[in-house]
Structure 1
Amino acid sequence: MSDHPPTKGSIGAVSLIRVRPEKNERRFYALAVDVDLFGCALLARHWGRLGTTGRQRLDAHETVATALGALATLERTKRRRGYWDRKE
């Protein structure tokens, strides 16, 4: 997965960036909720420096609603830390 926004097939998706040239900082953070083949809701988190492959983490949740709640919480936290919507 690259630093591009999550796919449009996601139930919920957010793509954020934070650029601070004075600190040589160019970061991305993408979140998406999907359902796997077994019906488990997965919150995919993908982050790193713009232009790199970055890192990825998948968190399993019992329901889509709890995964979307976790997505909203993480999005709120990132926005408080200076991230904003990625423009395509």
Structure 2
Amino acid sequence: MSNAKIGLVHLRRINPALNMRRYYTLSIQPTLFGGTSLVRHWGRIGTSGQSLIETFDAAEDADGALARLERSKRCRGYVDP
């Protein structure tokens, strides 16, 4: 079994002047075959948005990818709700 941390990050970016209301969610989930998946979900607040799932063999790789994406989104103005 994988040693992945079950991670969950919710971020929002709201700017009324630009009519911008976005969300970005990152989560780490185990797969059925012993790997780890990084699930990304994003879109405009109030919509169903889009999703992308990346699968990693090593839990550390998924944790690293989550940390990189979270850092990137925070640099672009996303904050905790």
> Which TM-score applies when normalising by structure 2?
0.92
* Distance in 2 (alpha carbons) for counterparts of 1:74 and 1:65: 14
Equivalent residue number for residue 61 of structure 1: 56
Query: Residue 69 of structure 2 aligns to which amino acid in structure 1?
Result: L
Alignment of 1:1-88 (within 5 A): 11-86=6-81
Q: What's the Cα RMSD here?
A: 1.0
Gaps of 5+ in 2: none
> Which TM-score applies when normalising by structure 1?
0.85
How high is the sequence identity, in percent, across the aligned residues?
48
Query: Residue 53 of structure 1 aligns to which amino acid in structure 2?
Result: S
Deviations 1:24-79 (A, max 9, x none): 00000000001111111100000000000000000011111110100000000000
* Distance in 1 (alpha carbons) for counterparts of 2:39 and 2:10: 12
| Runs of 4 or more above 2 Å deviation | none
Equivalent pairs, count: 77
Name the larger-Rg structure: 2
